[in-house]
Amino acid sequence: MIRKTRNERIATWLPLLCALAVLGLAPAAAPAQHVHGVIELGVVVEGGTVAVSLDAPLSDVVGFEHAPESDEQLDRIRQAAAVLGNANAMFALADSARCEISATSIDGPAYLTQHLAEEDAGSAESHGHDHDSHHSHSAHDEHADHDGHDHDSHHGHSAHDEHAGHDGHDHQESEQHAEVNASYEWACGNVSAVEALGLRFAESFTGIETIEIQILTSAGAHVLTADGRISSVPLSPP
Partner 1 sequence: MLHNIGNAISLVFKSLMNRRATAILTVASIAVSAGLLSVVERVRTDTQASFANTISGTDLIIGARSGDLNLLLYSVFRIGNPTNNITWESYETIGSRPEVDWTIPFSLGDAHRGYRVLATDLDYFDHYRYADRRKLAFWKGGPFATASEAVIGAEVAERLGYDVGREIIVSHGLTETSFLTHDEDPFTITGILERTGTPVDRTVHISLSGMDLIHSSGAGRVPAPVEGYEPEAITAFLVGLKSKISIFALQRYVNEFEAEPMTAVIPGVALQQLWGLIRVAEYALFGVSAMVVLASVLGLLATLLVSLNERRREMSVLRSVGARPGHIFALLLSEAAMLAFLGALSGLLLIQLGIVAIRQFALTEFGIQMSVGLRAFDFHVLAGILGIAVLVSVIPAWRAYRNSLADGLTVRL
Q: List residues binding partner 1 (CB under 8 A).
A: 1-11, 13-14, 16-18, 20-32, 42, 44, 46-47, 49, 51, 53, 55, 156-159, 181, 183, 185, 214, 216, 220-223
Q: Output 44 or 193, the one with its CB closest to partner 1.
A: 44
Q: What angle do CA 31, 37, 81 make, to 5 degrees?
A: 75
Q: Output 31 or 63, the one with its CB closest to partner 1.
A: 31
C-beta of 216: minimal distance to partner 1 in Å? Answer: 6
C-beta of 160: minimal distance to partner 1 in Å? Answer: 8
C-beta of 19: minimal distance to partner 1 in Å? Answer: 10
Closest listed residue to residue 55, CA positions, set 76, 31, 78, 79: 31
Distance (Å, whole) CA 45 – CA 191: 8
Q: Output 74 or 106, the one with its CB closest to partner 1.
A: 106
Quote the distance between the C-alpha of residue 197 and its chain's center: 15
C-beta of 156: minimal distance to partner 1 in Å? Answer: 7
Closest listed residue to residue 97, CA positions, set 195, 184, 185, 183: 195
Q: Output 103 or 132, the one with its CB closest to partner 1.
A: 103
Q: Output 198 or 221, the one with its CB closest to partner 1.
A: 221
Rounded alpha-carbon distances, angstroms, from residue 161 to 76, 77, 199: 19, 16, 26
C-beta of 134: minimal distance to partner 1 in Å? Answer: 31
